[in-house]
């Protein structure tokens, strides 16, 4: 699976169409970091990828399709959402930023 490398995460807590975004780097050693200062671990198998935030239950899991991943995320404390990842080189019409006061990628306000 072509996961290691640079991606852009688009996340929507509540799946209401209000996406925030951040950069993400997936490393070949199963770790990741993002532009909001978070880090964690990831694993991919059979066309699926799952990544979890360090010291948190926040977890994202999705289906890999070439330069994109589409899936869902949860804090497992009542906050759920939808997300997609676009790999380096994938076309994007708009790089959205998190609306003022919206939750960040870990689910923190």
What pLDDT was estimated at residue 54?
98
CB-based contacts of 93, cutoff 8 Å, min separation 6: none
Q: Which residue has the tokens 């926040």?
A: 58
- Give the distance from CA 26 to its chain's centroid: 10
Q: What is the pLDDT of residues 75-90, one digit of tens each?
A: 999 999 999 999 988 7
The CATH architecture one would assign to domain 5-87 is: Beta Barrel (2.40)
Q: Which of 79, 100, 104, 90 is nearest to 7 (CA)?
A: 90
Hey, what are 15's tokens?
């799946």
Ranges under pLDDT 50 in the chain: none
Given this model, what pLDDT does residue 104 score?
A: 84
pLDDT value at position 97?
A: 59
pTM for this one? 0.84
């Amino acid at each position: 699976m072509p996961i290691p490398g640079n991606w852009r995460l688009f996340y929507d807590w509540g799946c209401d169409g209000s996406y925030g975004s951040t950069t993400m780097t997936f490393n070949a050693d199963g770790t990741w970091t993002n532009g909001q200062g978070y880090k964690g671990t990831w694993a991919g198998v059979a066309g699926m990828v799952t990544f979890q935030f360090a010291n948190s239950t926040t977890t994202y899991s999705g289906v890999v399709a070439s330069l994109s991943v589409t899936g869902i995320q949860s804090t497992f404390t009542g906050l759920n959402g939808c997300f997609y990842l676009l790999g380096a080189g994938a076309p994007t019409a708009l790089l959205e930023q998190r609306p003022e006061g919206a939750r960040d990628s870990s689910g923190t306000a």
